Structure 1
Amino acid sequence: MSVPLSAAVTLGLLFFLSVGLNEQVAEGCKCLQRHPQQVFCESDIVIRVKVIGNVASARPDLVAYSVKVITKYKPSNKKAIWVIYTDKTSCGGYLENGEYLLSGHVVDGVMVFGLCDLVWRWDQLSSVQKRNLNMYQTACICEITSCTGASCLTKNLQRKCLVGVKNSIGLGYEEALRAVCLPGRHGSCRWQK
């Protein structure tokens, strides 16, 4: 039995459309490469926690984890956090039992994190990264900006540090991961290792 040409073309178009739509959904969770300091400063909450395990969620669209907070980097208020949440979608994070550095946002009074936040196993952070966490809070007045080509030659940076290139005013991404963009004299910001 042969399929008419118009039906074959329709099936082919449907296949390519479904692949394209699936790719868009999958790409919807891709996160821009950002320096950890940027993520820290843009987050409502940054904590080091011990994940105890999954718990029943009072919110049907979110997965809930029971945690014990070890260190609260941001904010410094005393409000206790016992449960954290993530989306059930592919953009949500997955945690195993153990210690993590997590960042997230307050949504309806609870902490929600996702793949674009800091979701790092504590034992995989370098000693430099752990030390830098204590400096990020005071460094949030600085902005970290990616640059390429001629935009990296800008001299009037004021409160910005460049990342993405290796030159006298900007750092390559790997090198920037070991540095903090801190305010210096005269209100300008600069990389410090």
Structure 2
Amino acid sequence: MSAAVTVGLLFFLSAGLNEQVAEGCKCLPRHPQQVFCESDIVIRAKLIGSVTSTHPDLVAFNIKLITKYKPSNKKDIRVIYSTKTSCGAVLNNGEYLLSGSVTDGVIVFGLCDFMWPWDQLSSVQKGNLNMYQRGCVCEIASCTGASCLTKKLQRKCLIGVNNSLGVVYEEALQSVCLPCRDGFCRWRKMIGN
């Protein structure tokens, strides 16, 4: 093989590998209620700074717990972790809404979890946090066109994509999917303070 062909093949292989690595760090768009319900823990905390990690593959952050939305136990949390990989999270000191999973007894968060600066959340978003738990029995799903008109959706709230007939994503962000007495789940628009 000529040197030019070898260099060309190496370029395309490395470009493909870089794309796969980049793909591994992408998160599918999800409604905040989905992130809340799928998380083991959701908290409002003040990040104080990084600390020495007792887990070699994780970065440790010292926090002051302000509010625990999920789970409702009273256990105090002082340290949270993020992975050291390129998909790990980087945070500055300040107040955040954080979510994550509990793995081997430690709280780990990443790019696909809540890592929202608290002061950037609207009053509606803050209020919705108190409602999301009630809606975890419901499923939030995307729909397009005629699939948004389906009547047999007892436990689903639909988000229309591509200008379909369902609730559009921007409107859904200001809403919570909650169960009703009839067993159906429906969007409820929340009103800010």
Runs of at least 4 residues of structure 1 off by over 3 A?
165-168
**TM-score normalized by the length of structure 2:** 0.94
Give percent identity, aligned residues only: 76
Aligned length: 188
Q: Hey, what's the Cα distance between the residues in 1 that align with 2:9 and 2:147?
A: 42
Counterparts in 2 of 1:68-83, with a 5 A limit? 68-83=64-79
1:17 counterpart (13, 18, 37):
13
Question: What is the distance in 1 between the residues matched to 2:187 and 2:31?
Answer: 12
- CA deviation profile, 1:136-184 (whole Å, cap 9, x unmatched): 011111110011233222111001000134666x211111000000111
Question: What does the per-residue CA deviation read over 1:35-76, in whole Å, with 9 as the maximum and x for residues that have no partner?
Answer: 000000000000000000000001111000000100000000
1:29 maps onto 2:19 in alignment: no
Aligned with 1:92: secondary structure? coil
2:143 aligned with 1:150: no
Q: Which residue matches 1:87?
A: 83
Distance 2:103 2:117 in 1: 23
Task: Give the CA RMSD over aligned residues.
Answer: 1.2
AA matched with 1:38: Q
2:114 and 2:150 mapped to 1: Cα distance? 30
- How far, CA to CA, are the matches of 1:71 and 1:161 in structure 2? 28
Q: Following the alignment from structure 2 to structure 1, what is the Cα–Cα distance between the partners of residues 143 and 56?
A: 41
SS in 2 for 1:116: coil
Between the aligned partners of 1:64 and 1:148, the Cα distance in structure 2 is: 42
**Residue 61 of structure 1: which of 57, 82, 85 is its match?**
57
> Following TM superposition, by how much is the alpha carbon of 1:78 offset from its aligned partner in structure 2, in angstroms?
1.2
Task: Tell me how far apart the structure 2 counterparts of residues 150 and 89 of structure 1 sit (CA, whole Å).
Answer: 42
For structure 2, the 5+ residue unaligned runs are: none
Q: Cα gap change, 1:111/1:153 in structure 2, threshold over 3 Å: closer, same or farther?
A: same
The TM-score normalised by the length of structure 1 is 0.94
Tell me the secondary structure at the aligned position of residue 156 of structure 1: coil
| Bigger-Rg structure (1/2) | 1
User: Structure 1 pair 167/12, CA: closer, same or farther in 2 (3 Å)?
Assistant: closer
Please list every run of 5 or more consecutive structure 1 residues that lacks an aligned counterpart in the other structure.
none
